[in-house]
Amino acid sequence: MQLRSCRLVACPVGPSPPFRPCPRCSAMLLAQLSDPHVDRTRPHKAAALRRAVAFVATLPQPPDAVLITGDCTDHGHPDEYDEFEAALEPLPMPVFVVPGNHDDRAELLSRRPPPGEACESFMQYVVENFPLRLIGLDTQWPGHGGGELCAQRLAWLDEVLSQAPARPTLLFMHHPPVQTGLQVLDDIGLRGHAEFCAVVAHHPQVVRVVAGHVHLPLTASFAHTTVMTCPGTDATFQPAWAQPDKLVIQYQPPLALLHRWTAEGGLTSFTAVPEAAPWVTLHDGQRWAD
């Protein structure tokens, strides 16, 4: 595969605060939310995002960072981004965002400048200050519901992965690079997924690829690693697999993903329903509760 060279752009906002591991377990925790589709005409979308944010903000181990994997707003209007940003205010930790097909890249970039080395012209960047290196990828293909990773973006990725081959790395993006088996969703899938797979295959330090877009909780093999998708903050789609040429779904409760990294155990991902619920001690360290 021939990859065009690209320009790396220095970080415009300076370094983030240093990582402070959990004193009890030395783990790094990431929360992933996706596809809030904030829309001024449908206030339940922003309300669902605020509930998901409240869930993340009150976890007993606060995540070290939050990933939002695109479609932050439904129409890319500035007033929708105002509401999106207001919903995120309770989060004290860094929030890293990549654009989806419903977003306005320039509007999103103006509010969320890349926190690290970035790919010129795209919202694609590296986050260096955690034990798990994070790379956000910009799959937006303006004017299309589907996404793409063009030669420029893939060359940039290959270059930044080559800079740190010993650092475990998580890639986060909007369009997943795998098919769902549902025609309507696969028609708006990722152009360039085979070339992306070839790049990832050259970099064994990539421990996970996480995405959004399909509103499904999908897990699939990809190169040597695994792709996972996080459903939307307002609902999870449960599709009718018997009608793969249509998109017939049940609305189910929203899901978030929690990705826990330790140097010894690697990356383990958990699925959570981001709604308030009481904490119950089932085992106190000595015995099970009655």
Chain positions contacting Fe ion, by CB under 5 A? 71, 100-101, 213
- Least distance in Å: CB of 52 to Fe ion? 17
- Least distance in Å: CB of 71 to Fe ion? 4
- Least distance in Å: CB of 261 to Fe ion? 26
Residue nearest to Fe ion (CB): 213
Q: Tell me which residue has tokens 């890639």.
A: 171
Categorise residue 260: left if φ over 0, alpha if ψ from -120 to 50, beta otherwise. Answer: beta
Q: Which is nearer to Fe ion, 130 or 237 (CB)?
A: 237
Residue closest to 67 by CA, chosen among 210, 169, 175: 210
Token pair belonging to 260:
């826990």
- Least distance in Å: CB of 205 to Fe ion? 28
- Least distance in Å: CB of 21 to Fe ion? 33
Q: Tell me which residue has tokens 């040597």.
A: 224
* Buried-exposed string 58-72: b where 16+ CB fall within 10 A, e elsewhere: eeeeebbbbbbbbbb
41: exposed, middle or buried (Cβ count in 10 Å: 0-12, 13-18, 19+):
exposed
Q: Which is nearer to Fe ion, 203 or 213 (CB)?
A: 213
Name the β-bridge partners of 38: 73
Q: Which is nearer to Fe ion, 116 or 177 (CB)?
A: 177
Collect all residues with Cβ–Cβ distance below 8 Å to 230 and sequence separation of at least 6. Answer: 32, 33, 34, 35, 69, 210, 211, 212, 217, 255, 256, 257
Q: Which is nearer to Fe ion, 100 or 192 (CB)?
A: 100
Q: Which is nearer to Fe ion, 112 or 213 (CB)?
A: 213
- Least distance in Å: CB of 139 to Fe ion? 9
Q: Which is nearer to Fe ion, 34 or 169 (CB)?
A: 34
Give the helix/strand (H/E) hosting 210: strand 206-211
Task: Go through the chain and tell me how many residues it has.
Answer: 290
Q: Which is nearer to Fe ion, 71 or 128 (CB)?
A: 71
Q: Tell me which residue has tokens 């740190």.
A: 164
Give the helix/strand (H/E) hosting 232: none
Residue closest to 46 by CA, chosen among 2, 1, 13, 82: 82
- Least distance in Å: CB of 100 to Fe ion? 4
